[in-house]
Structure 1
Amino acid sequence: MKLLKIFGLVFLLTVVGALLTFSEGQKIVFYSTQLRPIEEAEWVRGTLLPPFTEETGIEVEFIPDEYSPWADRLIAEYKAWKADPAKCGVDLAGGLHGDFMGVLETPEKELRFVDLSAKLAELSADRTFIESFVELGKMAGIQAYIPWMQATYLTVINKKAMDYLPYDVNIESLSYDDLLKWAKSIYDATGEKKLGIPAGPKSLLHRFVHGYLYPSFTCSTVKKFMKKPEVLYLWGYAKTLWQYVHPEAAKWDAMAEPLLEEAVWIAWDHTARVWKAIEARPEDFIAVPSPADCCGRGFISVLAGLGIPKAACDPDSANKLIEYLTKPEVQVVTLEGVAFFPIVEEAAGKVPAGPAKVLAEGVTKQAAAPDAIVAMIPGGLGARAGEFSKIYRDTFTEIVIKGRNIEEVLEEQGKLLAELYRDTGAPCPLPDDPTEAPCIPEGF
């Protein structure tokens, strides 16, 4: 009897020990289309995730991958789980907004992701997510993902330009008319064209056109490509503004050097392409939201989110990882480690003084602007994505730089845009309706 009791006690301790070992050895899979480069992935494994494991006891296997295999795996795991709920897969999926759009629904309109509305509400008690990004995460009636991190383009100002700021202009809420008045004010006082818009062969001019000008002036990117009178006003404005843009702008691919050399005092570009200037002299520059017009403040967000597949093995642990990755202090670590910007407003206040803080404050203010209109880089065009960029770049070049007739150029380029979308069947990019496919411009 005594031997039996001892045996039972040993058995019980063995079972408890096994359970404790399982608990301490919890491991989840974090599968992401972002942070794929080797140095970024190693930073995630070696710097970003270890504090989470120390805090929770949950190990994380970070697996970065390209979109196509990422989508294929999530879809295959959902099918396997649907056939046999005992089978499970990836716990946390990280991807761009467009990545989630491609895998959210089955052909039968079943959802492959968990609704994170309750988790978002819980997290919002101690952090303020940028509202426009929260709205983007709402798809098919659920909160399909929670915002994770962002990259963008914005306006950088040398403080010397402040001496010429018109009295009625607020740099935190610039309009395109304000920008024009300011550039003209500088020119009238100095005789120099101090506005910079990169228009060189490798510049991101096309992003300025489709993601900033078009949404701000027409509330659209593709559908109203040729809509009158808004588009005629847009291009008339662009021609006028160009009179105050530095004459070398058509040769510049990025604005860091012109800003450092003070060839320009006001410049628009991608955050990565102004970083060198702000890193060198952070005390000389201010980053502010890009201008607005009648529709609002159009800007491009390269937005990444975090979603939990329905087939996840451990959704509870995945929720804990979401909570960790969206903490303001962890958002700052992400900014400093891989130069992706925060999506919670409190993070900007936690960034140490220096170049990262200059940019983070501008990026956060732009995204949180009450008149923000989020534009997205178009998806679904596949190998022909470059044609989209060329159409918007050529439209600007022909009308603004070469001075051709506005309607004639829009007719030519509009036909190419319509043909591109008919051939690919691609959906509309935001701010147009992303459920519309193919996205044919009005009038074509």
Structure 2
Amino acid sequence: MKAKLTLSRRALFGTSAAVAATGTLAACGASTSGGGDFAMISTQFTPVEEKQRFEEILSEHVSTTSVSYTTMTAPEMLTQVTSQVGSGNLQFGLIGGLHGDLQPLAENLEDIDEALVETARAAGIAEDLLELGKLGGETTKYIPWMQASYVMAVNKKALEWLPEGADVNALTYEQVLEWATAANEANGSPVFGFPAGPKGLYHRFFQGFQLPSFTGGVITTFQSPEAIESWQWMKDFWAQCNPSSTNYDFMQEPLASGEVLVAWDHVARLVGAPQDNPDDWVMVPSPTGPQGLGYMLVIGGLAIPKGGDVETAAQVIEEFLKPEMQIATLEKNAFFPVVEAEIPSELPPAIQLEFDAVNAQQGADGAIVALPPVGLGEQDGELSQVFKDCFAEICLDGGDPGTVIPGKAEQVQTLLDTAEASCWDPDPAGDGVCQVG
């Protein structure tokens, strides 16, 4: 018995701009696999365990050639691709990255309409996703590879403190705050955690969940009254979180140890928590705010460097799109298929929990697809740091959101101006550089 993947196209693609993300799992430096006939560089699966599992997938599912897999950060990949394409001395034949990683490389990528688009259509990749692969141009620059998101993991022990009448699968931000407060008071110590460690993805919560849910935007509503309200919520919520959260990079670790019972994070950073005792856990959608359920969708793509071996690279990409390889990536590294694929009914229990939560989140009424920065290039990390600084000044230092947030607006605009970056969803597309509102 098999169940079909039913990720909602309405929820995924109901907005106008491209889906993007920075390297959500990027480490500090490049990491190279063993030798292979065909070299691939990627910003994905950089943690050692994830990289090893993906190398196993490559060896089992790619028969065209032996693929060596080298991981690096997005800035490192930008440097490598531009320098090697410019010199005509390519040391790799395939590029794997998230939409935001590939956007700055568009001029250094082969046009692959003729080589791969019909193959991608035949595999069942949605036209909306294929359109993203054009990176705003007229020709296809990458083929969608995989997708993921962020959800909440809940140890069932915490359910007793839910607010009366609250549905854990359809929580509001107000209810989450009430829940965290009640749990803290009843337990005598905080049971909620937040990935605010040095390598945590907490800035994605502000960019993709909190601000879109409260304001309907991110940049164009950056200093709006609704944005100030959202940061006041965050300040109040943080006061109910385990203070050790500033050390948490991957929430699966404190969840598995029982140090916290409820946490939000990227699915790949939650999946380890329920592996040993899945019946003790639920995974649920992120909360809904006054404007809707803002959530971030992560889309990975596969591209061929200009001047590369298009024929061999296209054959490898075709194998990446086979349902068997897509399902293996889901089962081992918690990234979901982009092709039409029959999802086994007996997924690993932890993966099944995440699959159900992601489906519910994407199919929720009023879902708002919120996208990480597009077109920032080297300024991407600086923009993320602004959001981290907002958190530090408001939540850690006790600052007034009404003072802190407007004070950051000029800094954000300077970064956008430097990168000449247009708006990305959920902010409305427009001509020229995106303007802070």
Do both share a fold (TM > 0.5)?
A: yes
Q: Work out whether residues 298 and 375 of structure 1, in 8 Å CA contact, stay in contact via their aligned partners in 2.
A: no
Aligned-pair CA distance for 1:205:
2.6
Distance (Å, rounded) in 1 between the aligned partners of 2:52 and 2:160:
46
User: Among 376, 379, 386, which residue is 1:380 paired with?
Assistant: 376
Distance (Å, rounded) in 1 between the aligned partners of 2:283 and 2:126:
18
* 2:232 partner SS: helix
* 2:146 partner SS: strand
Which is richer in helix? 1
Alpha-carbon spacing, 1:185–1:344, altered in 2? closer, same or farther (3 Å): farther
* 1:391 partner SS: helix
Distance (Å, rounded) in 2 between the aligned partners of 1:171 and 1:130:
31
- Residue 210 in structure 1 maps to residue 207 in structure 2: yes
Alpha-carbon spacing, 1:205–1:96, altered in 2? closer, same or farther (3 Å): closer
Distance (Å, rounded) in 2 between the aligned partners of 1:167 and 1:249:
27
Q: Work out whether residues 296 and 373 of structure 1, in 8 Å CA contact, stay in contact via their aligned partners in 2.
A: no
Which of 31-40 and 188-197 deviates more?
31-40
Q: Work out whether residues 211 and 217 of structure 2, in 8 Å CA contact, stay in contact via their aligned partners in 1.
A: yes
Q: Work out whether residues 373 and 380 of structure 2, in 8 Å CA contact, stay in contact via their aligned partners in 1.
A: no
Counterpart amino acid of 1:380? L
Distance (Å, rounded) in 1 between the aligned partners of 2:138 and 2:336:
27
Alpha-carbon spacing, 1:329–1:416, altered in 2? closer, same or farther (3 Å): same
Distance (Å, rounded) in 2 between the aligned partners of 1:434 and 1:144:
21
Distance (Å, rounded) in 1 between the aligned partners of 2:81 and 2:151:
30
Which of 161-170 and 230-239 deviates more?
161-170
For 2:193, the equivalent position in structure 1 comes to 196
Distance (Å, rounded) in 1 between the aligned partners of 2:341 and 2:275:
22
Aligned-pair CA distance for 1:279:
3.2
1:179-229 deviations in Å (ceiling 9; x for gaps): 2343345456556543222334554332222222122222333232112x3
* 1:392 partner SS: helix
Alpha-carbon spacing, 1:409–1:232, altered in 2? closer, same or farther (3 Å): same
TM-score in terms of structure 1 length = 0.70
The answer for unaligned runs of 5 or more in structure 1 is 1-26, 81-88
Q: Work out whether residues 331 and 347 of structure 2, in 8 Å CA contact, stay in contact via their aligned partners in 1.
A: no
For 1:86, the equivalent position in structure 2 comes to none
User: Among 279, 285, 301, which residue is 1:283 paired with?
Assistant: 279
1:349-376 deviations in Å (ceiling 9; x for gaps): 4563333433344345445656141322
Q: Work out whether residues 110 and 303 of structure 2, in 8 Å CA contact, stay in contact via their aligned partners in 1.
A: no
For 2:122, the equivalent position in structure 1 comes to 122
Counterpart amino acid of 1:101? Q
Distance (Å, rounded) in 2 between the aligned partners of 1:130 and 1:271:
22
- Residue 405 in structure 1 maps to residue 400 in structure 2: yes
1:152-188 deviations in Å (ceiling 9; x for gaps): 4321111122334446444334332342343345456
For 1:268, the equivalent position in structure 2 comes to 264
Alpha-carbon spacing, 1:256–1:438, altered in 2? closer, same or farther (3 Å): same
1:29-77 deviations in Å (ceiling 9; x for gaps): 6744345869877766664255442xxxx43655647333335556788
User: Among 174, 180, 184, which residue is 1:183 paired with?
Assistant: 180
Residue correspondence of structure 1 range 297-308 to structure 2 within 5 A: 297-307=293-303
* 2:177 partner SS: helix
Q: Work out whether residues 31 and 70 of structure 1, in 8 Å CA contact, stay in contact via their aligned partners in 2.
A: no
Aligned-pair CA distance for 1:320:
5.8
Distance (Å, rounded) in 2 between the aligned partners of 1:185 and 1:312:
58
Counterpart amino acid of 2:113? V
Q: Work out whether residues 132 and 374 of structure 1, in 8 Å CA contact, stay in contact via their aligned partners in 2.
A: no
1:227-269 deviations in Å (ceiling 9; x for gaps): 2x32132123323434533454455454334323434322112
For 1:70, the equivalent position in structure 2 comes to 81
- Residue 33 in structure 1 maps to residue 28 in structure 2: no
Q: Work out whether residues 330 and 337 of structure 2, in 8 Å CA contact, stay in contact via their aligned partners in 1.
A: yes
* 1:94 partner SS: strand
Alpha-carbon spacing, 1:361–1:308, altered in 2? closer, same or farther (3 Å): farther
Distance (Å, rounded) in 1 between the aligned partners of 2:272 and 2:232:
33
Which of 342-351 and 257-266 deviates more?
342-351
Distance (Å, rounded) in 2 between the aligned partners of 1:364 and 1:345:
15
For 1:146, the equivalent position in structure 2 comes to 143
Counterpart amino acid of 2:123? L
- Residue 160 in structure 1 maps to residue 152 in structure 2: no
Residue correspondence of structure 1 range 50-69 to structure 2 within 5 A: 50-53=60-63, 58-59=64-65, 61=67, 64=70, 66-69=77-80
**Larger Cα Rg: Structure 1 or Structure 2?**
1
Distance (Å, rounded) in 2 between the aligned partners of 1:237 and 1:262:
25
Q: Work out whether residues 332 and 351 of structure 1, in 8 Å CA contact, stay in contact via their aligned partners in 2.
A: no
Distance (Å, rounded) in 2 between the aligned partners of 1:99 and 1:247:
33
Aligned-residue CA RMSD in angstroms?
4.2
- Residue 112 in structure 1 maps to residue 111 in structure 2: yes
For 1:83, the equivalent position in structure 2 comes to none
Q: Work out whether residues 114 and 310 of structure 1, in 8 Å CA contact, stay in contact via their aligned partners in 2.
A: no
Which of 179-188 and 31-40 deviates more?
31-40
Counterpart amino acid of 1:67? L
The answer for unaligned runs of 5 or more in structure 2 is 1-35, 72-76
TM-score in terms of structure 2 length = 0.71
1:320-361 deviations in Å (ceiling 9; x for gaps): 654532344322322445554444575654563333433344
For 1:15, the equivalent position in structure 2 comes to none
Percent of paired sites with the same residue:
31
Residue correspondence of structure 1 range 79-94 to structure 2 within 5 A: 93-94=95-96
* 2:205 partner SS: helix
Q: Work out whether residues 61 and 324 of structure 2, in 8 Å CA contact, stay in contact via their aligned partners in 1.
A: no
For 1:102, the equivalent position in structure 2 comes to 104
Aligned-pair CA distance for 1:123:
1.9
Residue correspondence of structure 1 range 392-431 to structure 2 within 5 A: 392-431=387-426
Alpha-carbon spacing, 1:394–1:314, altered in 2? closer, same or farther (3 Å): closer
Distance (Å, rounded) in 2 between the aligned partners of 1:68 and 1:345:
34
